[in-house]
């Protein structure tokens, strides 16, 4: 588990690795190496979980041990390794089990809501839908939502206090797949190169999986070293992904 080293004292931020920090006995969690994030306001004690999956009890134990209380959940996208559900015959805990433990709103991008409902069996009333540019407040900490379609139609990233939680839109090395249902390679190119262009180089990227030696890196470094930033236009991008 790691705290954001440069975070101000009021901001509560935890990066939990499934299979190591939670779900330690789960072989699928160890294989998938998903990150779960906790963001909150230390002064009010409120926190939200980003992509709570695999081990709801373990996530809630971390929140409680840190003297916080969970007041919401945010989903980057609908895939079961991020929100729970059935994945290739394996049942993954997620927001459905979370709401069975504590009734909190689940914040999703509007285009993603039907997909989240389908894989998690949540009701419409369990979800709070958003559009790009919306802000979710946790205490007095604002979390900006950035709609980044491509990996899925309603994928979204979260920008909070100089940190970008990117889900499967962008990794330190590579980006999310576009060959799964709802994937759109051209849309992902726009998301990575245009919609995330507003994120400054000194912001820290926190991805949805540990697909690189380091768990986070500055956006500027990622833009210099990640091969997905090499294409000069969408045609080169599509050719690189084998989608052109």
Q: Are strands 90-92 and 35-41 parallel, antiparallel or unpaired?
A: unpaired
CATH of the domain at 170: 3.60.15.10
Output the pLDDT for position 158: 98
Look at the chain and report how many structural domains it folds into. 1
Mean residue pLDDT across the chain: 95
Model pLDDT, residue 6 = 46
In angstroms, the CA 240 to CA 74 distance is: 31
> 8-12, 21-25, 234-238: lowest mean pLDDT where?
8-12
Averaged over 65-69, what is the pLDDT?
A: 98
d(C-alpha 205, C-alpha 216), whole Å: 5
Q: Indicate the SS3 state at residue 231.
A: coil
Domain that holds residue 126: 2-240
pLDDT of residue 8: 54
Between strands 156-160 and 85-87, the pairing is unpaired
CA 195 – CA 239 distance, rounded (Å):
21
Q: Tens digits of per-residue pLDDT, 125-170?
A: 999 999 999 999 999 999 999 999 999 999 999 999 999 999 999 9
* pLDDT surpasses 90 at 3: no
**What is the dihedral sign for C-alpha 140, 219, 66, 19?**
positive
Q: What is 11-60 written as a DSSP string?
A: EEEEEEEBTTTB-TT-HHHHHH-BEEEEEEETTTTEEEEES--S-HHHHH
Q: How confident is the model at residue 1 (pLDDT cuts 50, 70, 90)?
A: low
Segment 52-60 shows an average pLDDT of: 98
Q: What letter would DSSP give residue 143?
A: E
pLDDT at 220 over 90: yes
């Amino acid at each position: 588990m790691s705290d954001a080293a440069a975070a101000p004292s009021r901001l509560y931020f935890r990066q939990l690795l499934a299979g190591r920090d939670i779900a330690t006995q789960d072989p699928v969690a160890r294989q998938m190496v998903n990150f779960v994030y906790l963001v909150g306001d230390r002064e009010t004690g409120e926190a939200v979980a980003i992509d709570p999956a695999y081990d709801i009890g373990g996530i809630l134990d971390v929140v409680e041990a840190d003297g916080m209380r969970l007041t919401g959940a945010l989903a980057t996208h609908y895939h079961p390794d991020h929100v729970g559900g059935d994945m290739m015959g394996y049942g993954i805990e997620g927001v459905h089990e979370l709401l069975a433990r504590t009734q909190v709103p689940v914040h999703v991008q509007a285009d993603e809501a039907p997909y989240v409902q389908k894989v998690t069996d949540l009701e419409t009333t369990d979800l709070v839908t958003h559009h790009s540019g919306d802000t979710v407040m946790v205490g007095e900490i604002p979390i900006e939502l950035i709609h980044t379609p491509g990996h899925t139609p309603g994928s979204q990233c979260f920008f909070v206090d100089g940190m970008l939680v990117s889900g499967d839109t962008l990794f330190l090395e590579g980006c999310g797949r576009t060959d799964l249902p709802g994937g759109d390679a051209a849309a992902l190119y726009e998301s990575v190169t245009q919609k995330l262009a507003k994120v400054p180089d000194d912001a820290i990227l926190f991805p949805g999986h540990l697909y690189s030696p380091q768990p986070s890196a500055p956006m500027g470094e990622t833009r210099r070293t990640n091969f997905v930033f090499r294409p000069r236009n969408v045609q080169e991008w599509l050719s690189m992904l084998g989608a052109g």
